[in-house]
Amino acid sequence: MPNTNLVGVELLDIEIEGMTCTACARRVEKNLNKLDGVSAYVDFATEKAHLQLINPLDSSVIAGAVESAGYRVGTGKSELKTLKPRLIAGGAASLVAVLLAMVPGFQFQYSNYIVWAAATVVIFYVAWPFHAAAIKNLRHFDATMDTLVSLGSSVAYGYSVYLILAGQMHT
C-alpha cells in the first residue's frame, strides 16, 4: 500500500520474484531508475523494490521495467510451495547418490547407473532455477552467481556421464 509522507512524493514497496543474487537486484534497480520520476532502491535480502514516485505512474509501467530486466513483480504467494518439492527430491536423490557412490557396502555392479539417475534428477529438476537464471543472464549478456553454479554443475555432470558411458567409473 503506498504511503505519501513527503509532499508530492509517493512511496511504494513492491515484491520482486526471481532474483537470486545481488547482481539481479542491481539490474532491476537500474531498469526502475530509468523510468521518469522514479527513484528506486532494490534490496536483494528482502526481495523488495522501494520506489519514490514524483509523478503518478501506472503499475503496468513499473511491472514492465521489472520484466524487461528478466524478473517478475511479486504476487505475494509463498516461494515455499515451489521450493519444498525440489528440496525433498534433491535430498532423496542426493542421499541415494552419496550412499551408492561413497559407502562400499551399498555399491554393486551397476550402482553407477542409479547414481547417474539420481544426479540427473538433481541437475535437471532441483537445479533448474539456476539454469533458467543463467539462460536469462546470457540473454542480457551478463554473468552472475547463477551462471557459475549452472556452468560448474553442468560441466561436472557432463564429464561424469562421459565417464559412465566410457566405462571408466569405479564400481
pTM of the model: 0.65
Spans of all domains in the chain = 3-73, 80-165
- Tally of CB atoms within 10 A around 115: 22
Residue type present at position 143: A
* Element counts in the chain: helices (H) and strands (E): 6, 5
Tell which residue, 170, 157, 167, has the closest CA to residue 119: 157
3-state SS class at 11? strand
Cβ atoms of residues 85 and 70 within 8 Å: no
pLDDT of the residue at 52: 92
List the one residue out of 35, 68, 66 whose CA is nearest residue 52: 35
Pairing label, strands 9-17, 3-6: antiparallel
Q: Could you tell me the sign of the dihedral formed by the alpha carbons of 13, 18, 20, 22, in that order?
A: negative
Query: What is the residue type of 10?
Result: E
Query: Any idea how long the chain is?
Result: 171
Convert the pLDDT of each residue in 120-170 to its tens digit: 999 999 999 899 989 988 888 888 888 999 999 999 999 999 999 998 776
- Encode pLDDT of 58-117 as tens digits: 888 999 999 988 888 987 666 677 788 999 999 999 999 999 989 988 988 888 999 999
CATH class, domain 3-73, is: alpha beta
pLDDT band at 1 (very low <50, low <70, confident <90, very high): very low
Q: What are the grid coordinates assigned to 115, written together?
A: 547414481
